[in-house]
């Protein structure tokens, strides 16, 4: 397993980038993840990366998070080889998943969230890189 990325909810990617760039962490690219109603800024840090999440919709998951908790750590993401198999295994163990079926994430990945109730209070994202497996 690898720590794939750390997701941080921000009010404004541009304003937040001023801080990250001041400590030498550079923006690689931004992309829109329509399914999550967010714009994502990808900042590589060693073998992992920080993702700054700016909402496109106050009713989206990050919009609701910002309204309730303000800016801050939103989730951590670990990379798995087989996301569907991992979902089945965790479900069988009684672990509560938000996504029972994987959905599209940033950077051509499949993702599924594990509920903070099952993880000790941290929203955990499982992510599988699609280009590591052959397309069906």
Q: How far apart are CA 91 and CA 73, in angstroms?
A: 25
Tell me how far, at minimum, the Cβ of 108 lies from Zn ion, in Å: 13
φ and ψ at 53, to 5 degrees? -110, 115
Q: Residue 7, interface with Zn ion (CB under 5 A)?
A: yes
Q: How far apart are CA 121 and CA 54, in angstroms?
A: 22
Would you state the structure tokens that stand for residue 19, as one six-digit string? 């801080």
Which residue is closest to Zn ion by CB?
A: 7
Q: Residue 125, interface with Zn ion (CB under 5 A)?
A: yes
Stretch that binds Zn ion, among 8-16, 21-29, 72-80, 87-95 (CB under 5 A): 72-80
Q: Which of 9, 38, 66, 77 binds Zn ion (CB under 5 A)?
A: 77
């Amino acid at each position: 397993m690898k720590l794939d990325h750390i997701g941080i909810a921000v009010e404004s990617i541009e304003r937040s980038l001023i801080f990250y760039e001041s400590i030498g962490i550079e923006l690689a690219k931004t992309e829109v993840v329509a399914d999550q109603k967010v714009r994502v800024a990808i900042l590589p840090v060693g073998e992992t990366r920080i993702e700054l999440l700016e909402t496109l919709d106050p009713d989206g998951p990050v919009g609701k998070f910002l309204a309730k908790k303000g800016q801050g750590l939103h989730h951590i993401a670990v990379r798995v080889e087989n996301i569907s198999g991992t979902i089945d295994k965790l479900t069988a163990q009684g672990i509560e998943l938000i996504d029972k079926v994987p959905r599209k994430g940033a950077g051509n990945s499949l993702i599924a969230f594990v509920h903070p109730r099952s993880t000790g209070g941290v929203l955990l994202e499982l992510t599988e890189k699609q280009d590591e497996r052959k397309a069906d």
